[in-house]
Amino acid sequence: MSVSRADDGSAAAERSAAAERSTARDGEPSDADLIGRSVRDPGCFAPVFDRHVDEILRYVHARIGPDLAEDITAETFLAAFRHRDRYDASRSDARPWLYGIAVRLIGKHRRAEARRLRLLRSAPAEVAAEDFGARSAERVTAERLRPRLVAVLRGLPRQDRELLLLVAWAGLTYEESAQVLGITTGAVRSRLNRIRVRVRAALGGINPVHADEEDDHG
């Protein structure tokens, strides 16, 4: 399986389409179905890769930049393939599982992420917006990303930073974010409330997660 850079276009629309494709629709197998079958027939894992590789690549690219993005994305899917027999078949959508693997791999490259944050802090606003891709530009404006938000992100505890980025950048729901981090949905809500207070204070009352997004997550 080779990893290619995500195509330009509406990333938000791609994410919505990917979410639809991950569940059984008109007889199409869900991610869970495909992963289960792949234990005996490894070729069945290929559609899971095709459905989600661009989304995972965009997220990794935003977190640590282009130098390691493709390698870590490839490692994410290789790890998923190796451990496919452990997948929770009750989860029809594999994205939280894949994000969880990617987050752990990103954690091994904290220096690269720190360099990425320093770069974004000094980059022109339009460059930062383009670099995060269409979906991130819709959810988090360039002005909110730099420079104060970047400073706040660097100052957050690691797990709080992971949670904020999964919700604000990757667009995961509270439940999906809880699955990625191995915590309860209640813990996600509690942590996000604490994070929002800290971020809003640093940004002069601005919330990096849009109000309608908060409503969507419940």
The encoded tokens of residue 181 equal 């981090």
The percent of the chain in helix, strand and coil, each rounded to the nearest 5, is: 75, 0, 25
CATH of 123-217, one of 3.30.70.360, 1.10.8.870, 3.40.1440.10, 1.10.10.10: 1.10.10.10
48-83 tens-digit pLDDT? 999 999 999 999 988 888 888 899 999 999 999 999
Q: 25 - beta bridge partners?
A: 28
Q: 28 - beta bridge partners?
A: 25
What contacts 192, CB < 8 A, 6 or more positions away? 163, 164, 167, 174, 209
**Could you tell me what percent of the chain has a pLDDT over 70?**
62
Closest CA to 95 of 22, 2, 38: 22
Q: Can you give the residue ranges of every domain in the chain? A: 11-109, 123-217
Predicted TM-score (pTM) of the model is 0.68
Q: Which range, 35-39, 135-139, 200-204, is most confident?
A: 35-39
- Give the pLDDT band (50/70/90) at residue 1: low
Q: Does domain 11-109 have CATH number 1.10.1740.10?
A: yes
CA distance 43 to 178: 30
